[in-house]
Amino acid sequence: MNKMTTTTIAATTEQALSRRQMLIGLAAASTAAATAVMPSPALPAQVMENPKLIRLGDDLPKHIAAFETARNDRLAIIRAWKHKWPLAPDSITEIPDFDTPFHSGKELDMFGAPFKRPGEKHPRLISSGWRIESSVKSARRALRSKKMAQSGHVQGMPYEQWEDILKEALAVEKAHNEYTTAVEDFYFLSGYKAAHAAFNEAAERLVAHVNAILRQQDYSMEGILVKAQAIRLQADPDLTLRSIVAEGGGLSSWAASLGESILRLAGEGRA
């Protein structure tokens, strides 16, 4: 049995015990309160909880464990590789005078977000591959044109000047290709993209499982506690999990669902 399986089983057992302890505490408090106002309280009939809701609650720890494992794997790669992220060479970058809200054309970090180098006010702009390729083709076309052969000039520039333009364009193209290869090698060697995808999938599965719990009908305080344990995940500090929750209806919908269940049971006299 691996470590994750052992941890998940322990977490499932602990969660079930915690739920039972809370139920015992609630029952004791309820009995004490009832005794204070009623000398001979009538015992309520035992209500059987939705078995599917209980099973989903018991399965929650394994989804949490899978999410935490994926998150830790991703964080380990970030810590080991972040400082190795390649910077674009100066020959293919430009330092802008102002910033724009668009990502297109900007130098990006390993997470795919624009970043500012130390001491610079704005993210650098990177020459696009198609622009560089276009410059190479234009210079070659000018050198091979009939006009160049006939007059020795194209667009007012002699053959030698076009040769310099081509040489510079080829150097920029080489630098751009090397940078592109360095970025591809970084992702391949670090395994970051696969770990990031696994992390997102685990987060989505976890949120889907919580949503499945909240969609189930509850019949007693035990079901309420299952749902309460599930929506505690809204306090998770991980921003990716929060964004996925928001896409699925938002934290407020989780709280509203639990609130409706509590009010319904209270109205039925089962709380």
The tokens for 2 are: 């691996």
The angle subtended at Cα 77 by Cα 76 and Cα 78, nearest 5°, is: 90
List pLDDT tens digits, range 29-41. 444 444 444 544 5
List pLDDT tens digits, range 70-91. 999 999 999 999 999 999 999 9
List pLDDT tens digits, range 216-230. 999 888 999 999 888
Spatial separation of the C-alpha atoms in residues 199 and 70, rounded to whole Å: 5
Indicate whether 127 belongs to any domain: yes
Give the pLDDT confidence score for residue 34 in this predicted structure: 43
Residue 243 has pLDDT above 50, yes or no: yes
How many domains are there within the chain?
Answer: 2
Indicate whether 249 belongs to any domain: no
Spatial separation of the C-alpha atoms in residues 227 and 42, rounded to whole Å: 28
Looking up tokens 């109205």 gives 267
Half-sphere exposure of 226 (CA within 13 A, CB side): 29
List pLDDT tens digits, range 110-122. 999 999 999 999 9
Residues with Cβ within 8 Å of 95's Cβ and at least 6 positions away in sequence, in order, are 120, 122, 124, 125
* Enclosing H/E stretch for 29: helix 3-37
| Residues comprising the chain, all counted | 271
Question: Using 50, 70 and 90 to split pLDDT, how confident is the model at 6?
Answer: very low
The tokens for 240 are: 């990716």
Q: Could you tell me if 231 and 211 are in contact, meaning their C-beta atoms sit under 8 angstroms apart?
A: no
Question: Using 50, 70 and 90 to split pLDDT, how confident is the model at 21?
Answer: low
The angle subtended at Cα 256 by Cα 70 and Cα 225, nearest 5°, is: 65
Is 101 in the same domain as 181? yes
Question: Using 50, 70 and 90 to split pLDDT, how confident is the model at 51?
Answer: very high
Residue 142 has pLDDT above 90, yes or no: yes
The angle subtended at Cα 49 by Cα 214 and Cα 225, nearest 5°, is: 50
Is 110 in the same domain as 173? yes
Indicate whether 7 belongs to any domain: yes
Is 33 in the same domain as 93? no
Which of 189, 206, 227 is at the close of a domain? 189
Which of 133, 168, 189 is at the close of a domain? 189
State the amino acid at position 148 in one-letter form.
M
Rounded mean pLDDT of the chain?
Answer: 82
* Enclosing H/E stretch for 63: helix 51-81
pTM of structure:
0.72
Question: Using 50, 70 and 90 to split pLDDT, how confident is the model at 269?
Answer: low
Q: Give me the domain span that covers residue 26.
A: 1-37
Indicate whether 218 belongs to any domain: no
Indicate whether 19 belongs to any domain: yes
SS3 37: helix
Indicate whether 157 belongs to any domain: yes
Residue 253 has pLDDT above 90, yes or no: no
Which of 189, 205, 229 is at the close of a domain? 189
Residue 177 has pLDDT above 70, yes or no: yes
* Enclosing H/E stretch for 153: strand 153-154
The angle subtended at Cα 18 by Cα 13 and Cα 19, nearest 5°, is: 100
Indicate whether 173 belongs to any domain: yes
Half-sphere exposure of 125 (CA within 13 A, CB side): 14
Indicate whether 126 belongs to any domain: yes
